[in-house]
Amino acid sequence: MKKLLALALVLCMLLAVVPVGASAYSVVLSPQHLKVDGVEYQCEKYNIDGSNYFKLRDLAMLLAGTPAEFAVGWEPEYGAVTIAPGLPYEPIGGELEIGADKSASAVPSAQAFWFLDAPAGISAYNIGGNNFLKLRDLGDLLGFSVDFDAETNTALVYSGVDMNRVDPQPGQADAFDAIWDWVQTNANDNLGGDPEYYFFHDFGNGDQGLAELIAADLLVERDLLLRSTYFFSDGAHDVTWIFLERDNGAFYASYDYYTADNDGEEPDFTGDWLLIPGEFDASAPLMFDSVTDNLSGAVSTSTLIGFATQGAADILLWLNKICAAEPDLTNRASIADFGFDPAKLQLSEQ
């Protein structure tokens, strides 16, 4: 690490950042708020001549582990603060501590600031022994974006992390593997060569249902594919899919609908959405992320959304029943392990 940064200093000698000039300036505590990837944080910040400055190490701490993370170091030989994009930040203590107003101690920083490929012109102040920089200056260098919400007076930082990511529940990986291994051992191969567990259900009114649980390897990762096909007595059928991915806390789901006179492979209606376990409720219709509709108004979208929501709940309840009924799965896997609330699925239970 030290050798890398020292080499960077030698290579970038001509890119030294020039400290702010010693002209008069106005420094006060800043009332501006800060959000990083949608989460608000409290930290020390100052308004200097109309611009907001944030502590360098506070920002390094807040961006640690994101695509915009960076390391902060000190090279006494060069009197330089080093900022290394992509390297993990090592806390030294005192990060995100606010304390008393230190605006009276503010002076233009006498230190140089070194980047591996940095433009000159970074404005920096030393306040209470710490360096404070502008968000947008760092954003331009490190690749994170900065926006501003005037209504709430909030600086908005987006590191590039996937905002739709949902971290796995505790025990979710174990439950996933227990189900996947059980299907591999106890189910037959389907036409695609992946082990599959399935059964038919007769609803007693002429309608029937086919439930399928497939353990597959997609993109070198384990996947559980849950498919439910509902056959209506008039010959029509609809299909609901849920794709469970290993080490993913949210699931991709889709819904296909075929009209009675559709004998082709393509559904008349298809929609997909991100299924987030903690937010799913069978009584609240899901809203599709994307839709392909070739029905020409034959069936309302709101009706199809209701069918899809109920279909997803039915699949999850069915999966829960398998886990409860199979000795090898009992107490090892349930939909609750994936973050779903069983009480919110009872609306559609058969």
The CA-based angle 37-312-314, given to 5 degrees, is 145
Amino acid, res. 109: S
Q: Where are the beta strands (DSSP E) in 13-66?
A: 27-29, 33-36, 39-41, 45-48, 51-55
Rounded (5°) CA angle 288-292-297: 100
Terminal CA-to-CA distance of the chain, rounded, Å? Answer: 61
Q: Which residues of 255-292 are buried (b: 16+ CB within 10 A; e: fewer)?
A: bbbbbeebeeeebbbbbbbebebeebbbeebbebeeee
Regarding pTM above 0.75, the answer is: no
Q: What is the pLDDT of residues 114-168, one digit of tens each?
A: 887 554 468 899 999 999 999 999 998 888 989 898 889 999 998 887 666 777 8
Task: State which H helix or E strand residue 340 sits in.
Answer: none
Calculate the average pLDDT of the chain: 83
Q: What is the pLDDT along the chain (350 residues), one digit of tens a residue?
A: 333 334 333 334 333 343 444 447 899 999 999 999 888 899 999 999 999 999 999 999 999 888 899 999 988 888 888 898 888 999 999 999 998 999 999 999 998 888 875 544 688 999 999 999 999 999 988 889 898 988 899 999 988 876 667 778 888 999 999 999 999 888 876 656 678 888 888 888 999 988 889 888 765 578 899 999 998 888 788 899 999 887 788 888 999 988 877 777 788 888 888 888 988 999 888 888 888 888 776 778 788 888 899 899 999 999 998 899 889 899 899 999 999 998 998 755 44
Residue 254 neighbours by CB distance under 10 Å: 21
Condensed to tens digits (0 to 9), the pLDDT of residues 56-105 reads: 999 999 998 888 999 999 888 888 888 988 889 999 999 999 989 999 99
Whole-angstrom Cα distance, residue 22 to residue 328? 74
The rounded distance, in Å, linking the Cα atoms of 330 and 323 is 6
Measured CA to CA, the distance from residue 314 to residue 42 in angstroms comes to: 44
